[in-house]
């Protein structure tokens, strides 16, 4: 990868397929190691409260097996905080979580929970985790993330991707303009800027081209594409598109 734009591969949905049958396979840790060999700069895994895909033992095994950084996604709950403090992953990305949602549908409302969230992330920061907050591209949320002492904001690209794939080009362009402006604001505040959710071969390049963005986290599309092309090739193709957009 270009030194200034990393690709984090989210392996949650390998676990989704495994859990559909109650077997031990396909193994998300095997997928993570393959992704690492294929050039992933990091591995992302979301331990949801309901354990619908990644499970506790997956996190233990990932932490033991990976040589690239682990980005541990979690809700702001006491249970998850204790797990993160046990493993001390390279990065902890705080995401909103609702049981009834299919995926992480929106960003965290940092502004509304600012004091509680500042207290919540303090021990994670002290333990040495790089704390990232998954938020909508919104100035109020970015400023709040900055005030609570987050090192990173990950901007939610879901609305942009949905608008593209659902054939709403004006909305897509408006979302892209918003992401671009908010990436600049976050960067000016000194935050490291990441982006992710819903990215595909068709949508990745305008996001990869935003100069302030340092990392993309991509999962569902890559795991789906792996059915057709293999995981290594899907990752390689995503990286090619990212490098092309950046140059």
Question: Does residue number 208 form part of the binding site for ligand PXP (CB under 6 A)?
Answer: no
Q: Does 69 bind ligand PXP (CB under 6 A)?
A: no
The residues with which 82 forms a beta bridge, in sequence order, are none
Pick from 62, 219, 234, 239: which binds ligand PXP (CB under 6 A)?
A: 219
The verdict on whether 73 is a catalytic residue reads yes
* Burial class, 82, CB count within 10 angstroms (exposed 0-12 / middle 13-18 / buried 19+): exposed
Q: Is 51 left (phi over 0), alpha (psi -120 to 50) or beta?
A: left
Buried b (16+ CB within 10 A) or exposed e, 134-164: bbbbbeebbbbbbebebbbbbbbbbbbbbbb
Cite the DSSP H helix spans in the chain: 12-21, 28-37, 56-65, 78-87, 114-127, 139-147, 158-165, 169-188, 204-208, 220-229, 231-246
Cα torsion 93, 96, 100, 105 to 10°: value is -90
Residue 168 beta carbon to ligand PXP: minimum distance, rounded to whole angstroms? 18
Catalytic-residue membership of 175: no
Task: Out of 69, 89, 198, 206, name the contact with ligand PXP by CB under 6 A.
Answer: 198
Q: Which of 18, 87, 197, 239 binds ligand PXP (CB under 6 A)?
A: 197
Binders of ligand PXP in range 85-104 (CB under 6 A): 93, 95, 103-104
Smaller CB distance to ligand PXP: residue 47 or 247?
47
The stretch among 15-23, 57-65, 176-184, 197-205 that binds ligand PXP (CB under 6 A) is 197-205
**Residue 46 found at the interface with ligand PXP (CB under 6 A):** yes
| Segment lying near ligand PXP (by CB under 6 A), choices 33-41, 54-62, 171-179, 192-200 | 192-200
Catalytic residue among 87, 146, 194, 197: 197
According to the binding rule CB under 6 A, does residue 220 interact with ligand PXP?
yes
73 binds ligand PXP (CB under 6 A): yes
| Phi, psi of 127, deg, nearest 5 | -75, -10
Q: Which helix (H) or strand (E) holds 196?
A: strand 192-196
Tokens of 181: 């402006």
**How many C-beta neighbours within 10 Å does residue 129 have?**
22
Interface segment toward ligand PXP; rule CB under 6 A; list 26-34, 141-149, 168-176, 219-227? 219-227
- Please report, as ranges, the residues that interact with ligand PXP according to CB under 6 A: 10, 12, 46, 73, 93, 95, 103-104, 134, 154, 196-199, 217-221
Would you please indicate which residues are annotated as catalytic (active-site) residues?
46, 73, 197
């Amino acid at each position: 990868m270009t030194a200034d734009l990393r690709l984090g591969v989210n392996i949650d949905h390998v676990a989704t397929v495994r859990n559909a049958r109650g077997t031990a396979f396909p193994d998300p840790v095997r997928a993570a190691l393959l992704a690492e060999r294929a050039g992933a700069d990091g591995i992302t895994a979301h331990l949801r409260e309901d354990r619908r895909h990644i499970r506790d033992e997956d996190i233990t095994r990932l932490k033991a097996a990976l040589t690239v950084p682990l980005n541990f996604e979690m809700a702001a709950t006491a249970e998850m905080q204790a797990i993160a403090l046990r493993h001390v992953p390279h990065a902890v990305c705080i995401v909103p979580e609702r049981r009834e949602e299919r995926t992480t549908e929106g960003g965290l409302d940092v502004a509304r929970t600012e004091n509680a969230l500042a207290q919540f992330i303090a021990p994670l920061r002290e333990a040495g985790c790089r704390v990232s907050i998954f938020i909508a591209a919104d100035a109020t949320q970015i400023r709040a993330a900055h005030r609570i002492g987050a090192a990173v904001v990950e901007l939610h690209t879901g609305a942009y991707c949905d608008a593209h794939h659902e054939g709403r080009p004006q909305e897509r362009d408006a979302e892209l303009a918003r992401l671009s402006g908010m990436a600049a604001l976050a960067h000016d505040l000194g935050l490291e800027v990441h982006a992710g959710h819903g990215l595909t071969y068709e949508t990745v390049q305008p996001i990869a081209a935003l100069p302030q963005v340092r990392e993309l986290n991509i999962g569902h599309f890559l795991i789906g594409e792996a059915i057709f092309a293999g995981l290594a090739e899907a990752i390689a193709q995503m990286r090619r598109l990212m490098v092309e957009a950046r140059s």
